[in-house]
Structure 1
Amino acid sequence: MSDDRNAAAPAGRRERKKAATRQAIADAALRLFLERGYDDVGIREIADAADVSTTTLFKHFSGKESLVFDRQDEMKALQLAAVRERPEGQSIPAALREHALRHRRLRPGDEPGVAAFLELVNSTPALLDYQHATWLENTAALAQVIAEESGLPADDPACTALAHFALEAPRAARRHHDSTEALHRAFDLLDHGWQSIASPA
């Protein structure tokens, strides 16, 4: 048994070290992007600022855009959890609406640095496109959870449609002057349509 404990400890330290390295790279990248602009910072500069090699950087991140959205996987997991763990009686679109309002629409006063981060993303077309494309990658996983929670077949196109439009809603709402109201309007439509086809949960 002692051998098992000894083997587990280094593995835990390795994971913590990997997480710390990843965070250091993401922090260095964001700091440089905010100081000089996304287009004026190179990968090698980011690696140097984080005191790692470019090879190490690419072990943690797929490319320059992914350095900005280092929490994307966490956000996707939170969205799935919002559907699975919604209160009894709450519809799936209502749970997705709540998640969108809480996690997708950051406000400048929510935490330090948010205003600058939003300005960086919103002023950089490459980042907006990357954010949208990677967010839509959650469509299949979200559709599967929707099917499981609603009692519909796994390949029901209604589940895929709801997942897709729920993921699209924040981007569509962003184009409107009152984005909160626009988001509510979008999810009102999804909720009303979903209720007409979904079997009881």
Structure 2
Amino acid sequence: MSTLPDRRTRKRLATRQRISDVATRLFFERGFDHVTVDEIADAADVGRMTVFNHFPRKEDMFFDQDPEARQVVLDAARNRDPHVAPIVALRLLAHRLVAEERPYIRFGDESSHFVETIAASDALKARARAIRDEMVNSLAHALAASVDQPADDIDAHLAASLLLAAWTVAFAQAHQDFRKNGAAKLAKEKFLSIVDKASTGIETALRDTLYGAIDRDS
């Protein structure tokens, strides 16, 4: 049975969210590179060490939704229906996340600010690349485990690399379209159309592996 967080946990989560919200507002207003940790601490009414207790790096305040997004993707790979091929399961996940309007797959003014802030900062671009590399490795391990293969299975790493590259392209293209026409609905459709097209190609390329087909032992 699930239980509600205790008072101390709720207070800690509320403090973390306040720091993140303040940091994001300042990053959007002034640019990531022009905001210091001390300024964030002052604006959030907390100490400098409190900020670092919640966010080891300044970049982590900007990418504060990354841990949740990673976990959702990894869970989809690990806990997929055995009658659904891994690549298909992740394609279906993209559709579900868009339908649920998860904050990390949204297309609107705030998400456009998010993308623009990354583009204006070398530090954020470097961290975004590192996150993608870390995620490729984690997803490859999750995919391999889901079909009882070793963590270093080359097909799993190929599948993870191709899938995340496709999602990255789809996300960037959808935001580019949103900036042109301001239509969130069309941006969602563009994102999913690219994900679908790429997933079909990846599934075909890996059709003779356990990642592009249903488990042979299921």
Q: Do both share a fold (TM > 0.5)?
A: yes
- Report how far residue 24 of structure 1 moved: 1.0
Change over 3 Å in CA distance of 1:105–1:14 after alignment to 2: closer
Distance 2:69 2:20 in 1: 16
Report if the CA contact (8 A) 1:28-1:49 is conserved: yes
- SS of the counterpart of 1:195? coil
Change over 3 Å in CA distance of 1:129–1:188 after alignment to 2: farther
User: How many residues end up aligned between the 2 structures?
Assistant: 189
TM-score by length of 2: 0.73
- SS of the counterpart of 2:90? helix
Distance 1:18 1:147 in 2: 35
Change over 3 Å in CA distance of 1:105–1:71 after alignment to 2: closer
* Alpha-carbon displacement from aligned partner over 1:112-148 (angstroms, at most 9, x marks no partner): 7333333323443432331231132133332222122
Identity %: 33
Distance 1:160 1:185 in 2: 20
- Is 1:29–2:23 an aligned residue pair? yes
- SS of the counterpart of 1:138? helix
Structure number, greater radius of gyration: 1
Report the residue type matching 1:34 in the other structure.
F
- Report how far residue 84 of structure 1 moved: 3.0
- 5 Å matches for 1:109-188? 113-173=110-170, 180=191, 181-188=193-200
- Report how far residue 183 of structure 1 moved: 3.2
Gaps of 5+ in 2: 178-189
Match of 1:43 among 37, 40, 44: 37
Report the residue type matching 1:131 in the other structure.
A
- SS of the counterpart of 1:137? helix
TM-score by length of 1: 0.79
Report the residue type matching 1:73 in the other structure.
P
Distance 2:204 2:8 in 1: 48
Distance 2:110 2:136 in 1: 29
Report the residue type matching 2:38 in the other structure.
R
Aligned to 2:184: none
Report if the CA contact (8 A) 1:80-1:145 is conserved: yes
Gaps of 5+ in 1: 1-8
Change over 3 Å in CA distance of 1:12–1:135 after alignment to 2: farther
Match of 1:84 among 56, 78, 82: 78
- 5 Å matches for 1:40-119? 40-87=34-81, 89-100=83-94, 102=97, 105-108=105-108, 113-119=110-116
| Aligned Cα root-mean-square deviation (Å) | 2.7
Report if the CA contact (8 A) 1:173-1:182 is conserved: yes
Instruction: Name the stretch that deviates more: 98-107 or 87-96.
Output: 98-107
